[in-house]
Structure 1
Amino acid sequence: MDSVYWQDYLSLKNALLHMFDNKISCDVIFDIGSDQIPCHSFVLIARSHVFEANLDSPLVKLSSDGVNSTKQIELHEVVDTDSVKEFLSLSEKCQSFITAASLDDPTNAVELYHQAFLLDITDVMEDSMKVINQSTKRCLESEAFLTLPPQCVRGLIADNHHQLDEDNIYRYVVQWCERRCEREDIENTDENYRKVLGDILYEIRFPNISYKFFKSSIERRNILTEREKKDLINMYRNENRCTYRGIFKSKPRNVSERLMRMTDYEDNVNHSIAFTSSEKVLLHGIVTYGLSHEKRKFKINVKLTDGNGKEITNDEFCGYTNDWTE
């Protein structure tokens, strides 16, 4: 039997909208003269520093029905009830807009990630991140990235699948620091950069930064402490990232490599691709794409060996050129 209680089947966002629409547990009233609109102070405060300042002000009128106290905000300018309600339910309309927005332009993905973060739209954040992963350089050098709040920068930099080397990730984060200091009207110093970075600093994988870049752009600055720099220097001297014992993440990001072969189809022609890895890698799979206008049969053989040449797997499968196989 389905539950009759709305709390059991509504998501948190829809439950809050239900409470707003049905005036449940409202503790703030917008008084617009001809009408009164009840709403919830915790929602207003959570999404607006302006409401936080005003609702905590001693100038806000308090009314009581003998049991509950309610804060009252008078809107002196000429406004209508529908406009105020439209404003208070703006997040739902924003969600619809963001969900329908196009991610074809990679630089849009950063702004969509930001807006989805503000409205807690997890699926849009995930979709945006997939675009950012594939076009990391364009996204991090965009104006949208430079204006992100720290929480968004941390979530973005923490992702494990960016297709960009750590040298450049660090470089773009420093550019964000410069802009952040300007926005907060504080001096552009390494010490202030570290302050505005906060936990973002620990999402940069310093052990994966090249020694040349470290020497030229990091060691001579004071964004890292002397101890942090010393730990990295010892790692470079040992020429082995596995020896690093510092506080920064050392696991490389999952940078994928794409290899294009057989751009033109030829009958009865064999092609081969062979590669080795000097690092431990995770082979997710092999994806093949065929011709879209013609159906031809093909056969693929995949042979995998370990570092000693011992065969791990040897598989064969067939497909057609207007299909895709993974």
Structure 2
Amino acid sequence: MPVEGETDCRGNLSLAGCVEKLWDRQAHTDITFHFPNDGEKTSSGHRLILALRSAVFEAMFFGPLAHSQDVVIEDVDKETFDCLLSYIYTDRVTVDGDTVLKCLFAAKKYCLDGLMSICNKYLSESITGDTVCTIYEQAKFFDMVDLANRCRSFIITNSASVFLEEDFTNLTRESLIDIFSDENLRSSELVHFKAACHWAQTACERRDKDVTPENMRNVLGEALKCIRFPLMSAEDFTKYVSQSDILSAPEQVLLFRHFIMKGFPSKECEFSALPRACTRLVTPVPNLEGDREVKLNQVVIKIEVSHDLHLVSFSMPKQEEIQSVLIVDENDREIPAKVPVFKKDSSSFVFDPPLLLCSKCAQLQVNLNRLTKVRNIYNKSLLTHESQTFFEDLQISHFKVKNRVYNFGEITVWVTMAPAKLKELVFKRGQW
């Protein structure tokens, strides 16, 4: 029935238009919702229309335990419930940063998938470094798998900046373990440790606990074991980790032994020394004073690896033309591989896709066309920020060459021969 003074326009409206008009006028309502936690405010609706849109309302109004004309709502405030009613009657709703999570909860409770999609879209478009962790936790809580995966991917890709945000402390310990365990984290282990300390301090404060090393370790739990301390530099470990006293004295002794010995951590050490899959493993091959050069009719770059690795590129001038690339397996069979392409901007030969080197292979040989000088490296010691390097004697054919060994935590790369102009080799772990 039209309101007095208004023209009856029902004949020109669709059913959806009539339902919207019914909502606007609040006419013929037959159910009242009370909000005792929101100042005893009320909202009204139509049982039949609500039941048509929501299985929960259908059970509420027409099931065996059907309600009368009054329903008490204690876990949703009136403003949020009115947004839900507006969506039911009009298929439209406006959400913002203050209302989206409340609407998402209400949509989940009353099985309104369309409203959940609207909230999902808003949250997906709102992912930033200072909101992603909160959105990630809400997406997991509401079983929004696609949104959770997008948030997780954002955190992993932008971990160096996300870990600095206050929102990072809103991650649960379960999520913290999951994130710190990811092979594709693109930040350093020192960044992970500092983020873990900040998270632990906040967790202690929220639980009214004193911020002590013992309490911080307790709230971190298994998350602390996901930090790969052996991959830190000795300087960073001494300055930041050792002084925090979060690690026990025996743990620190084992790790200091690792840094001093420049080798693998002890089997008693429970912290992984395996570089993350996305880490670039760079083996510099500098010109050293005292390098002796010899002439060969055929020059090869011989490489062996302790773990499966992908060879991404090696730096060398273009005039060093490559004749062939061979992978020599454990049975001394030579398997041809794709020849890399020279990239002028980086002065590197790049494998596209990167060349998989298996730990079971005897070696990789990159054969060069022309007579080239080869380095015979005297017994010296190097230490770079990306690798720990030492040399061992190795007799090859009729001349003496040195075996250069590069350690990246648990990974070892042996370069047994190299042309004088080779500058560096770049490896990565993981799938391509």
Distance 1:216 1:240 in 2: 21
Counterpart residue number, 1:254: 277
Aligned mate of 2:164, from 126, 141, 145: 141
Deviates more, 1:174-183 or 1:98-107: 98-107
Cα deviation digits, residues 271-310 of structure 1 (max 9, x gap): xxx9x89874532979xxxxxxxxxxxxxx99476799x9
Distance 1:169 1:225 in 2: 18
Counterpart residue number, 1:35: 70
Distance 1:283 1:227 in 2: 35
Deviates more, 1:217-226 or 1:139-148: 217-226
Q: Tell me which of the two structures has the higher relative contact order, counting C-alpha pairs closer than 8 angstroms and 6 or more residues apart.
A: 2
Distance 1:258 1:207 in 2: 15
Q: How many residues align?
A: 237
Aligned mate of 1:98, from 73, 97, 120: 120
Aligned mate of 2:236, from 213, 218, 222: 213
Contact 2:242 2:252 in 1 (8 A): yes
Contact 1:117 1:125 in 2 (8 A): yes
Return the letter of the residue paired with 2:246: I
Task: Name the SS of the counterpart of 1:283 in structure 2.
Answer: strand
Unaligned runs of 5+ in 2: 1-52, 86-102, 283-300, 314-322, 342-351, 354-432
Distance 1:95 1:238, change over 3 A: farther
Aligned mate of 1:114, from 137, 146, 153: 137
| TM superposition shift of 1:74 | 7.5
Distance 2:77 2:127 in 1: 41
Structure showing greater radius of gyration is 2
Counterpart residue number, 2:337: 314
Which of the pair is proportionally richer in helix?
A: 1
Aligned mate of 1:223, from 246, 254, 266: 246
Task: Let me know the Cα RMSD of the aligned residues.
Answer: 4.6
Cα deviation digits, residues 210-261 of structure 1 (max 9, x gap): 22122122223331222222322332233223544322233221224499xx
Aligned mate of 2:175, from 147, 152, 167: 152
Distance 1:205 1:317, change over 3 A: closer
Distance 1:303 1:107 in 2: 48
Return the letter of the residue paired with 1:282: L
| TM superposition shift of 1:317 | 9.6
Return the letter of the residue paired with 2:219: V
Distance 2:265 2:250 in 1: 18
Contact 2:225 2:271 in 1 (8 A): yes
Return the letter of the residue paired with 2:214: E
Distance 1:95 1:229, change over 3 A: farther
Task: Name the SS of the counterpart of 2:208 in structure 1.
Answer: coil
Return the letter of the residue paired with 2:120: I
Distance 1:140 1:149 in 2: 14
Residue 180, structure 1, aligned to residue 215, structure 2 = no
Identity %: 19
Contact 2:162 2:168 in 1 (8 A): yes
Cα deviation digits, residues 161-211 of structure 1 (max 9, x gap): 111111111111111112222222222111110121122112212222222
Using structure 2 for the length normalisation, give the TM-score: 0.44
Task: Name the SS of the counterpart of 1:186 in structure 2.
Answer: coil
Residue 237, structure 1, aligned to residue 272, structure 2 = no
Distance 2:324 2:147 in 1: 36
| TM superposition shift of 1:108 | 4.2
Task: Name the SS of the counterpart of 2:243 in structure 1.
Answer: coil
Aligned mate of 2:185, from 162, 170, 182: 162
Distance 1:244 1:96, change over 3 A: farther
| TM superposition shift of 1:96 | 4.5
Task: Name the SS of the counterpart of 2:338 in structure 1.
Answer: strand
Distance 1:81 1:147 in 2: 23
Unaligned runs of 5+ in 1: 1-16, 37-72, 260-273, 287-300, 319-324
Contact 1:164 1:255 in 2 (8 A): no
Task: Name the SS of the counterpart of 1:191 in structure 2.
Answer: helix
Cα deviation digits, residues 115-151 of structure 1 (max 9, x gap): 2222232332222222222221111111211232222
Contact 1:103 1:131 in 2 (8 A): no
Counterpart residue number, 1:125: 148
Distance 1:110 1:74 in 2: 29
| TM superposition shift of 1:315 | 1.8
Residue 89, structure 1, aligned to residue 107, structure 2 = yes
Counterpart residue number, 1:282: 309
Distance 1:169 1:96 in 2: 34
Distance 1:193 1:106 in 2: 24
Using structure 1 for the length normalisation, give the TM-score: 0.56
Distance 1:112 1:242 in 2: 38
